[in-house]
Amino acid sequence: MAVALVMAVSANAQNPEKGLSWGVETAIGTEWELGVRAQYNFNQYFAWDVLNVKYAYDWDRTKIWGTTFKTHWNEIAITTGVRGFSPTFFNDRMKAFANFDLGYGAMFNNGNTNCFAIDFGVGLYVWKGLYAGYALEALCKNGSHTDHLLRIGYNFTF
């Protein structure tokens, strides 16, 4: 991951039309999440999520719609993936996006479970770098643990 980040930074220095940006985001739903990410834009429609690092906390849940959930899980995920964008609309102020990221995840609750992490999201950039959307995350090992989230974030460009 570190090598990928260095490659993206050096490529950005060579071609100012392509850009590296940093993002911070939080999400709430079946868990609370806080994350940071680096994104390298190839053009206005396609980007590489170079590195995503997220911490999540599943609070005490017992039964929701007849399903019993585990309580008090701490989770981390380190992923990389792709992000696609729509053309801008509404006076060039908004654009839709979708992302798909894969990587490493871990769950901590009286022990450690290493697993495969998947993050899929769709959303809308509503103002400059501010975005909001829906995310589905899964940490998979011998079955899977999925979370549904409302994600809000901000992308900082250089």
pLDDT in tens, the chain (158 residues): 444 444 444 343 333 346 899 999 999 998 899 999 999 999 989 999 999 999 998 765 555 556 665 566 788 999 999 999 999 898 888 999 999 999 999 887 766 778 899 999 999 999 888 999 999 998 877 656 788 999 999 998 76
* Mode of pairing for the β-strands spanning 67-68 and 19-29: unpaired
Domain 2-157: state its class: mainly beta
The tokens 């992000």 sit on which residue?
83
Question: Which tokens is 157 given?
Answer: 């460009």
Alpha helices in the chain (DSSP H): 2-14
What pLDDT, on a 0 to 100 scale, did the predictor assign at position 17? Answer: 42
pTM above 0.85, yes or no: no
* 66: DSSP letter: T
Task: Quote the CA–CA distance of 81 and 79 in Å, as a whole number.
Answer: 7
Name the burial class of residue 69, with classes exposed (0-12), middle (13-18) and buried (19+) by CB atoms within 10 angstroms of its CB.
middle
